[in-house]
A and B are shown apart, each in its own frame.
Chain A
Amino acid sequence: MSVSSSRKTTRILSAELDKLITMPLIWRTFVATFIINLVLTAAFTSASLQGAADTKSVLNIGLASMIYLQAGFIILGILATCSEYTGGQVQTTLTTIPWRGLQLISKHLALAVFTFPAALVITASGVLYTVLMMQDTVAGIGINTMIQTVVGAAGYLTVTTLLSAAVGALLRRTTPALVVLLGYYFIVSPLMSDFLPRVHNYFPDAAGAYMYMETFSNEVKVLTPMQGTGIAVGWTLIFMAIAIVFYRKRDA
């Protein structure tokens, strides 16, 4: 029984991965995000090459585009779940895989498997570009710090993607999900950091930022990287749980 159920889980997971990688929109989003990130990083780098740069700022500049970068990953997450509702695909999904909780969790897992390497490639390429362009000024920075930061940033983007996927699954339509998530990440969150800075630290994006900010940011730190990771992951799990509850209850 346990053998067959673990095989079942593997099958569902690989089916969900199949769905992701055969979706042209997913690849387009990835490529577009990659290119836009490099362009932005190039802009930030050339801007700061004109000014004075200290040793820490390589990471600072290489990841300066994170705030824009996350938009690409928000879209990725939304596409992964909302695409089920295009062309009535969800009917096929649920007649093939009628175990709704398992199916949605597998979808998120598959998304994480796809997203983490993708995020790693994108963040690493940004930092690498900056390092290459600013070779003269980066003497002191350790390779370990660099790896830690890049992995942390990729982790943050993955968590953001999964959170967006859960919101997408909850709302089922691309446009409202996009409006809600972009509205939070780009309008509400910056406002909150101005007006409610203490509370804001416990929200998914601000807490998640501690996953990669620790090493270079000069801002006052309220959380450790582990705490930040925990809070961001916690939010994601809460949204996934809510999405699963609704998914199980609702007519497809």
Chain B
Amino acid sequence: MLTINNVVKHRGNQEILSGVSFKARPGRVTGFLGPNGAGKSSTLRILLGLDRATSGSALIDGVPFAELQNPLATVGAALDGFGAHRMRTGRAHLRWIARAAGLSHSRVEEVLEIVGLTNVAGKRVGTYSLGMGKRLGMAAALLGDPEILVLDEPVNGLDPEGIRWIRTFLRERAESGKTVLLSSHLMGELAETVDDVVIINHGKVVADGTLEEVIGNHSTLEEAFFALTSKNNGDGV
């Protein structure tokens, strides 16, 4: 269970998040939606303890990320970017992560197999395409077989096959009782994957509920999204 509670974040004079609250529940895929710069990544970075909230709390099963006993086995995270040094090989990257969590090298080969990177694992990360980098990020997130997955724009840069793979994979995770939180700005893609939707705009949550609730009277999620975000645009800026 992920609990974001009234998180405020200032950077300089700017208020990036102004009181964001929502939950991501076990057994469900929660989609975190918003236009570019709405505060999706900032929220996830605070949840993962990378950035500090000005006020409010972001808890994982009731505790802040830094207090987790075994972070890798609790939360698997894949943020924007490769998250790896470009001169290291993909395998070496996963191996030091495994080492830090006390996992074996065979687990590294397993996740490489799962994300389909076995063939290029010996190549430097700098030579990877965007899609391969995303897969490497997923591999790192899956390494500890965590109860919770936090993914920032997971389908960005993936080919159609990869997108389909992610979709089925995440559905399976949720159905086995695990928590999945993913951010995206790809509406059509999200509508087919998620159970719950949180929409954020200008650092505020503008909608929060099940997919059906958020779509409401609109014909699609996309329609609902534009209705919610453009309305907020008017008085927001």
Contact = CB atoms under 8 A, between A and B. Distances in A.
Interface stretch (A21-29, A58-66, A112-120): A21-29
Contact of A12 (B79, B92, B100): B100
B87 interface: yes
A59 B51 CA distance: 51
Interface stretch (B23-31, B66-74, B204-212, B220-228): B66-74
A94 B95 CA distance: 16
Interface in A4-25: 7, 11-12, 14-16, 18-19, 22-25
B99 interface: yes
B45 A251 contact: yes
Q: A interface, by DSSP: helix, strand, loop or mixed?
A: helix
Given A22-B92, A95-B77, A251-B50, A87 B100 contact: no
Interface string B124-145: 0110000000000000100000
A87 B84 contact: yes
B77 A18 contact: no
A85 to B, nearest CB: 9
19 contacts: A11-B99, A11-B102, A15-B97, A19-B96, A22-B89, A22-B96, A86-B86, A87-B82, A87-B126, A88-B80, A88-B81, A89-B83, A92-B83, A94-B50, A95-B65, A95-B71, A96-B71, A251-B50, A251-B51
B88 interface: yes
Contact of B99 (A14, A92, A252): A14
Contacts of A83: 85
A15 B97 CA distance: 7
Contacts, number: 95
Interface residues of B, number: 36
Given A22-B92, A24-B87, A87-B125, A96 B49 contact: no
B66 A98 contact: yes
A203 B84 CA distance: 36
Given A95-B77, A251-B51, A87 B66 contact: no
A99 interface: yes
A117 B72 CA distance: 32
A131 to B, nearest CB: 37
A97 interface: yes
Interface string B79-119: 11111111111001101110111100000000000000000
For the complex of A and B, the 6 pairs showing the least CB-CB separation, nearest first, are A15-B100, A22-B92, A18-B96, A251-B51, A88-B81, A92-B83
Interface residues of A, number: 30
Contacts of A7: 102
Contacts of A88: 79-84
Nearest to B140: A92
Contact of B79 (A24, A91, A98): A91
B52 interface: yes
B83 A11 contact: no
Interface in A203-239: none
B75 interface: yes
Nearest to A85: B85
B48 interface: yes
Given A95-B77, A98-B71, A23 B95 contact: no
Given A18-B92, A18-B96, A96-B101, 9 more contacts: A19-B88, A22-B89, A91-B50, A91-B77, A91-B83, A95-B77, A95-B79, A96-B71, A96-B97
Interface string A23-58: 111000000000000000000000000000000000
Contact of B100 (A22, A25, A96): A96
A98 B87 contact: no
A14 B50 CA distance: 22
Nearest to B71: A98
Nearest to A100: B66
Contacts of B52: 249, 251
B84 A89 contact: yes
Contacts of A89: 83-85
A51 B168 CA distance: 78
B81 A91 contact: yes
B101 A18 contact: no
